[in-house]
Structure 1
Amino acid sequence: MSEQLPGGIQLSPAEIEALGARWSSCWTPSDVAHHLTGIATPWFVAAGWALDLFRGRQTREHGDIEIAIPAARFPEVRDRFLGYVFDAVSSGRIWENATLDVLAATHQTWLRDPATDNYLLDVFREPHDGDTWICRRDETIRLPYSDIIHQTQDGIPYLAPELVLLFKAKHVRPKDQADFDETVPHMTPAQRETLAELLDRAHPEHHWLADL
């Protein structure tokens, strides 16, 4: 869908690689939670940071920080970041200060500080049905937000580890394998069983199944 959108900037592989430097000052989960304190929109830290929050300590460096929200609730989140801009990204293309039509056709947004041009936060606008989260990679996987959002002792919400690992299972980069190896021993039998069931649905015969 994003390839049919007007405008935007197509980035070369070298330009995509160079974007890493613009994430050097990205926020921590605590920084994000400070901005979103008291918001009614359900949100959670995702990806590698979520696994560190689950394990109770930072285990590796993170090149960025990602959160996910219900797509329809994005305006409430956007209003918490006045003075910043949101760029939409998809398939190697970026739309700076994205318009509503671009936002409607994409799901990933990067929060940018216009004073420095650095990126601070990656926001995924996820499909949902009211208070039910819908997995964007397999729409048959639908769970209440109340079931998938966990919280740290100081109240930072994060995605359940079995769902974080489900997303990481698609490509299994070295850091994804390391996250799997480090996280599974901390998961409950029920969490490991859920991950195995979801992997069997989304990625049958995945090599992680043998370790669960």
Structure 2
Amino acid sequence: MIGRPLSSSDAHKHWAPWTPTEIAQRLAGVEAPWCIAAGWALHLFTEAAARDHSDLEIAVPHHRFNEIAAALPGFAWDVVGDGRVWPFPELLAEHFQTWLRDPLTDEYRLDVFREPAVDGRWVCRRDTSITLPYTDLIQHTVDGIPYAIPEVALLFKAKRVRPKDQVDFDNVVPQLNRSRRQRLRDWLLQVHPGHPWISRL
């Protein structure tokens, strides 16, 4: 179970992601608390973070992933992690990313983050002491598309700040109110002490 190597450049060549509107329509009947994650979550929070996106990620409690899979019949799943890819369900318990693949074109449409959850609460996989009820984790656009709050999206972007992550931070922070800034700052002090973003908050 070594897995097939998958570089970032190779992965991007095989992505033809759905839009948030398209996945919201496909998952309209799913009761599991899911939400748009990462860069698209920030884009949905504020137009100040609008940019092109090479993929689409959603988050769902790990034990309710089957509800997402059941709502997307006719596609294949791959397990992805550490720069490698395995056919589902190999190494499912060891990696949290699950990519949805169109078997006719081999193009990826969606990346599902299977997130820790306890007693109906989201649990941060970077620091399990950070938890939120799903009613606090998930916001909705005026069209009803669920997305993760910006503090959470930025916390995960802080681990490996790529140019696009810095752009997202620069564009989103001015749109955060005092309580959101404070929460993100507290989390960064806890998870990434000494991070350069802390002084900006």
Report 1:15-164 matches (<5 A): 16-23=8-15, 25-56=16-47, 59-96=50-87, 98-99=88-89, 102-164=91-153
Q: Deviations over 1:42-89 (max 9, x none)?
A: 001011000000004762111101000000001111001100011001
* d(CA) in 2 for partners of 1:38, 1:165: 29
Q: Is the 8 A contact 2:121 2:131 kept in 1?
A: yes
* d(CA) in 2 for partners of 1:9, 1:208: 35
* d(CA) in 2 for partners of 1:158, 1:89: 22
* d(CA) in 1 for partners of 2:98, 2:79: 4
Note closer, same or farther for the CA distance 1:37–1:126 as it changes in structure 2 (3 Å cut): same
Aligned to 1:207, the other structure's residue is in SS state: coil
Aligned to 2:91, the other structure's residue is in SS state: helix
Q: For structure 1, which runs of at least 5 residues remain unmatched after alignment?
A: 1-5
Report 1:196-211 matches (<5 A): 196-211=185-200
* d(CA) in 1 for partners of 2:93, 2:110: 19
Runs of 4+ in 1 over 4 A off after TM superposition: none
* d(CA) in 2 for partners of 1:186, 1:42: 25
Q: Is the 8 A contact 2:49 2:168 kept in 1?
A: no
Shift in Å, 1:143: 1.1
* d(CA) in 1 for partners of 2:121, 2:76: 28
* d(CA) in 2 for partners of 1:7, 1:210: 42
One-letter code of the match for 1:8?
G
CA RMSD, 1 decimal: 1.4
Q: Is the 8 A contact 2:35 2:60 kept in 1?
A: yes
Aligned to 2:71, the other structure's residue is in SS state: helix
Aligned to 2:199, the other structure's residue is in SS state: helix
Aligned to 1:155, the other structure's residue is in SS state: coil
TM-score, length basis structure 2: 0.95
Aligned residue among 3, 10, 15 for 1:8: 3
Shift in Å, 1:102: 2.4
Q: For structure 2, which runs of at least 5 residues remain unmatched after alignment?
A: none
Note closer, same or farther for the CA distance 1:58–1:141 as it changes in structure 2 (3 Å cut): closer
More helix per residue: 1 or 2? 1
One-letter code of the match for 2:46?
R
